[in-house]
């Protein structure tokens, strides 16, 4: 089943603990102040200094020649595939990848691309699986043009691709004439957790992007980076898709503030996720996937409470999370405190004991 936020009972108390997603973060007062002070211009003609600065910083952060500011990570993925590929081309990605399962079929609808799903544990395919899926280029099969990975792998449990695996995928792709794309929605979570820089993590990938509206806490925006020629093509698609903006510096200022103040603190989210997993795993009948970053997936079925029932019961107590692919997903972020984690564990224990 896809991502299904629970319906809010109109009689339910206000949400006090929001573990639905790191997209639920609210801009901090300091971020709002930075947005209010932003120097702006017309982004469409390259005249917004704050947006230009953000793009320069992300390009440097990821070790690429250029970058462009986008309204969303989905638009980053869509514009990237539209730039890399032509109708009828084949893209290789994990079977749970957003480009395949969670972007409304945009890549098929807008680009006419075939996305071949690759299997693998924890949201990741192995280099060998990738290699074994490649076929000779003949007129009988679609041209295999692009391979895509998610760092971190969301549905896999927020798992981190190892640098060695990323490098091997790049080597195989280059040897076989494929371009490479990294969906880096939570790339900086992986960097903070491993100590590997974003530049090193994205090395060899033809395109990569960062989402600022997840753990980094900005209200909107993502930035995709690559070669200058690639970014020129992305800009064309940004224009076509209606993503070209005017005084976008107000939004870009939030992203710059996030880079300055919200990256290192991702470690707090990871610590809270580990604490949540540890507490949940001590409740009889609750099976928990140990988190690598800020996502905690768990199944309470053996406790006597089904996942949907537990989500509903927590919702009635002001705790918001959701079912995702048959499991409950909890996501920690800058609006979630250690005290909230402790309270959530206590509420789950109380609900289980009452069954």
DSSP E strands in 246-347: the ranges are 287-288, 295-299, 319-320, 322-324, 327-331
User: pLDDT tens digits for 249-308?
Assistant: 999 999 999 999 999 999 999 999 999 999 999 999 999 999 999 999 999 999 999 999
Q: Is the pLDDT of residue 169 over 50?
A: yes
| Token pair of 243 as six digits | 């993503």
Report domain extents, the chain: 17-26+265-353, 38-261
Q: Is the pLDDT of residue 11 over 80?
A: no
Predicted confidence at residue 164, as pLDDT, reads 98
Q: Is 17-26+265-353's fold the same as 38-261's? A: no
Four-way CATH pick for 17-26+265-353: 3.30.300.180, 2.10.10.90, 2.60.40.3500, 3.90.1150.10: 3.90.1150.10
User: pLDDT tens digits for 124-139?
Assistant: 999 999 999 999 999 9
149 SS3 class:
strand
Answer whether CATH 3.40.640.10 is correct for domain 38-261. Answer: yes
Sequence-distant (6+) residues with CB within 8 A of 145 are 84, 85, 86, 89, 90, 91, 178, 179
Q: Is the pLDDT of residue 2 over 70?
A: no
Residue 8 pLDDT grade (very low, low, confident, very high; cuts 50, 70, 90): low
Predicted confidence at residue 4, as pLDDT, reads 52
Predicted confidence at residue 7, as pLDDT, reads 59
User: pLDDT tens digits for 43-58?
Assistant: 999 999 999 999 999 9
Q: Residue written as tokens 């060899």?
A: 204
pTM for this prediction: 0.95
User: pLDDT tens digits for 88-108?
Assistant: 999 999 999 999 988 889 999
Q: What is the Cα 273 distance to its own chain's centre?
A: 16
Predicted confidence at residue 13, as pLDDT, reads 84
Determine if the peptide bond prior to 152 is cis (ω within 30°): yes
Q: Residue written as tokens 């080597």?
A: 171
């Amino acid at each position: 089943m896809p991502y299904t936020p629970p319906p809010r009972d109109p009689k339910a108390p206000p949400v006090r603990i929001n573990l639905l997603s790191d997209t639920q973060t609210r801009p901090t007062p300091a971020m709002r102040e930075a947005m209010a002070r932003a120097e702006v211009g017309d982004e469409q003609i390259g005249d917004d200094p704050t947006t230009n600065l953000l793009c320069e910083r992300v390009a440097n952060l990821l070790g690429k020649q250029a970058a462009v500011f986008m309204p969303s990570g989905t638009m980053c993925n869509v514009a990237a595939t539209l730039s890399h590929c032509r109708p009828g081309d084949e893209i290789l990605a994990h079977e749970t990848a957003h480009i395949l399962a969670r972007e409304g079929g945009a890549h098929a609808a807008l680009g006419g691309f075939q996305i071949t799903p690759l299997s693998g544990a924890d949201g990741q395919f192995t280099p060998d699986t990738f290699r074994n899926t490649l076929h000779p280029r003949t007129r009988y099969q679609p041209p295999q043009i692009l391979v895509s990975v998610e760092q971190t792998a969301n549905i896999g449990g927020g798992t981190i691709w190892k640098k060695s695996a990323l490098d091997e995928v790049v080597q195989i792709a280059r040897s076989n004439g494929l371009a490479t794309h990294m969906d880096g929605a939570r790339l900086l979570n992986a960097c903070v957790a491993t100590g590997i820089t974003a530049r090193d993590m994205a090395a060899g990938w033809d395109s990569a992007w960062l989402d600022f509206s997840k753990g980094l806490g900005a209200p909107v925006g993502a930035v995709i980076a690559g070669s200058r020629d690639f970014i020129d093509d992305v800009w064309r698609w940004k224009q076509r898709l209606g993503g070209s903006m005017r005084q976008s510096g107000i939004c870009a200022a939030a992203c710059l503030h996030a880079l300055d103040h919200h990256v290192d603190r991702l470690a707090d989210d990871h610590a809270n996720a580990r604490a949540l997993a540890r507490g949940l795993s001590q409740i009889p009948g609750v099976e928990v996937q140990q988190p690598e970053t800020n996502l905690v997936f768990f199944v309470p079925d053996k406790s006597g409470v089904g996942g949907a029932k537990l989500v509903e019961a927590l919702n009635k107590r002001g705790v918001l999370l959701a079912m995702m692919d048959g499991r409950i997903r909890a996501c920690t972020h800058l609006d979630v405190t250690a005290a909230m984690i402790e309270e959530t564990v206590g509420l789950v224990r109380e609900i289980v004991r009452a069954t």
